[in-house]
Structures are given as C-alpha cells and as structure tokens.
C-alpha cells in the first residue's frame, strides 16, 4: 500500500526562525516521485518540488530546502528564516500508480511576526 504520513498537524513559529516539516512515505515501488505543495489561505495548491527516488541529493531553492533520505523513507522540508507569508498548509505527496497523487494530511504552519 502507498501512504504518506505528516505527523505534525500544526506548527507555530516566530518570524525568522527555521522550521522543518516532516514527511514519511510508504511504497513498494522501486521508482517513485515525491512532491511538496503549499496551500495558502486562498485555497489553491502551489507546486513546490518534485523529487525522483533515484536522486537523493538535497535540494535548495532560496529559503527552501528538502532532505530526501531513502533509508528512512523521509522527504523533509525546511524553511530557513521563516516569514509571515510562509503561513500555509503544506502537503507532502507520493505519486500513485495511475499518475494521481497520494497526499499526506498536511501540516499547518503559522509564522507569527
């Protein structure tokens, strides 16, 4: 079975703090893709990153970085020097066998000024 677990339901930080959002996945596939999406209060989902299971290099994009650890089936997301605009619900997702996405339940991040 394929499954994505985001154990942190809500996280609250003060602006400029670093914060890490955890994601653990389960799959029997040897090749798979993992994703992170951001859902601001307006509701739409914004694509952040896609990671191929063959590529275990960490990725950095500005204040965002992702740590992919195949050995622990984790794909964690870190925001450095958080800002109020980072407040949103963040979803980790695993690609299903039909090209659809299997989502975790999301982590609500609140960044306070």
Partner 1 sequence: DGGITQSPKYLFRKEGQNVTLSCEQNLNHDAMYWYRQDPGQGLRLIYYSQIVNDFQKGDIAEGYSVSREKKESFPLTVTSAQKNPTAFYLCASSITAGSESPLHFGNGTRLTVT
* Shortest distance, position 15 Cβ to partner 1, whole Å: 26
* Shortest distance, position 21 Cβ to partner 1, whole Å: 14
> What are the distances in angstroms from CA 6 to CA 16, 28, 89, 93?
23, 19, 11, 10
- Give the x-and-dash track for 37-76 against partner 1 (CB under 8 A): x----xxxxxx--x-x------------------------
- The single residue among 19, 21, 27, 35 that binds partner 1, judged by CB under 8 A, is 35
Q: Which stretch binds partner 1 (CB under 8 A): 19-27, 68-76, 77-85, 104-112?
A: 104-112
CA atoms within 13 A on the CB side of 87: 12
Q: Applying CB under 8 A, does 105 fall inside the site for partner 1?
A: yes
CA dihedral sign, ordered 11, 45, 104, 21: negative
Nearer to partner 1, 34 or 111 (CB): 34
> What are the distances in angstroms from CA 73 to CA 3, 8, 43, 67, 113?
11, 16, 28, 11, 34
Residues that bind partner 1 (CB under 8 A): 9, 33, 35, 37, 42-47, 50, 52, 91, 95-96, 98-106
């Amino acid at each position: 079975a394929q499954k994505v677990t985001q154990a942190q339901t809500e996280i609250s930080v003060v602006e400029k703090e670093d914060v890490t959002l955890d994601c653990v996945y389960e799959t029997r596939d040897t090749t798979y893709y993992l994703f992170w999406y951001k859902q601001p209060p307006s509701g739409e989902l914004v694509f952040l990153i896609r990671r191929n299971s063959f590529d275990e290099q960490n990725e950095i994009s500005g204040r965002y970085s992702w740590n992919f650890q195949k050995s622990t089936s984790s794909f964690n997301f870190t925001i450095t020097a958080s800002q109020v605009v980072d407040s949103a619900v963040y979803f980790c997702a695993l690609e299903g066998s039909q090209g659809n996405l299997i989502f975790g339940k999301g982590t609500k991040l609140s960044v306070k000024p």
